[in-house]
Each structure stands twice: as structure tokens, then as C-alpha cells.
A = this chain, B = another copy of it.
Amino acid sequence: MIAPVVKPNFAKIGGLVPAIAQDYATGEVLMLAYMNEDSWKETLSSGMATYYSRSRKQLWKKGETSGNLQVIKEIRLDCDEDTVLLRIEQIGNAACHLGYKSCFFRTVNQDGTLSIVEDRIFDPEKVYGNTKE
């Protein structure tokens, strides 16, 4: 007998489900991206977080360009089976393409403005090749 292989309910919301990446050691929420069924299978088989890029319309192995890969430590599925929680080790200590550890590096103030509350880990221009340095 082949063990049943669980998967999110991709059909429910147009083939994509949100996937939250959380730092396994600290509990910090690092980013949210989307997964289709292929990226789910690839994440399970490779042990590295692999999303679906809605803008590029293709599989997106997180960290492929920057080197900031996400090593899967645990995967959780929610009660409705339409959201994934990836508990990961963030290589390079930065998940955000703007150079911060978390994409949620800004807080909403009481007056409705935003403040940056994290330090930048890397310079995105150097990492993503917009400069020749």
C-alpha cells in the first residue's frame, strides 16, 4: 500500500495557495509567497522552499539568484488546507529582496505612517546585479 500523500487544496483558490515562511529558530515571520502543486512537490522532494512566481509565471526556488536559500525544517498545513506554513532555516539570514531579514520590516504607526524597524542585512543592488561591483 502506498502511503497517502497530503497536499493543500489547490483547486479552492485558483491553483495557488499562500505559503508563510517562518524562521524555525526564532519564530520570526519572514515572507509570504504562493505555491502551485508543482512547487509543493518540489519543496517536499528537494527540502528547499520552492514557490510559484505570479509575476514570472514559473517555479521559483527561493534564493536561486541571491544564494539565500530556505532549508525546510518542518511543514504545517492549516485546518482548511488552503494555507501552508514553512518552518525554515534562512540561509544568509535575509529573506527579503530589499536586503532585510524579513519582508515585514516596516511597522504601521498610530498616525498611519510606516517606520522601518529592522536593519538591512545586504545591499540588494550588489546581490541582484544592478551594479558592476
Binding site for B on A (CB under 8 A): 3-6, 18, 20, 22, 26-29, 31-32, 44, 74-80, 83, 85, 96-98, 100, 103-108, 111-114
| Interchain nearest-CB distance for A110 vs B (Å) | 9
A interface, over-half SS: loop
Q: Which of B44, B85, B112 contacts A5 (CB 8 A)?
A: B112
Q: Which of B18, B76, B104, B106 contacts A104 (CB 8 A)?
A: B76
Q: What is the total number of copies of this protein in its complex?
A: 2
A114 CB contacts on chain B under 8 angstroms: 6, 77
Q: Determine whether the beta carbon of A75 is less than 8 Å from that of B108.
A: yes
Inter-chain CA distance A29–B79, complex, in Å, is 13
A85 CB contacts on chain B under 8 angstroms: 29, 104
Q: Which of B3, B31, B75, B79 contacts A107 (CB 8 A)?
A: B75
Besides A6-B112, A83-B103, 20 other CB < 8 A contacts? A3-B113, A5-B112, A6-B113, A6-B114, A18-B18, A20-B20, A27-B28, A29-B29, A29-B85, A31-B78, A75-B108, A76-B105, A76-B106, A76-B107, A78-B104, A79-B97, A79-B98, A79-B103, A79-B105, A85-B104
| Interchain nearest-CB distance for A24 vs B (Å) | 11
Q: Determine whether the beta carbon of B108 is less than 8 Å from that of A80.
A: no
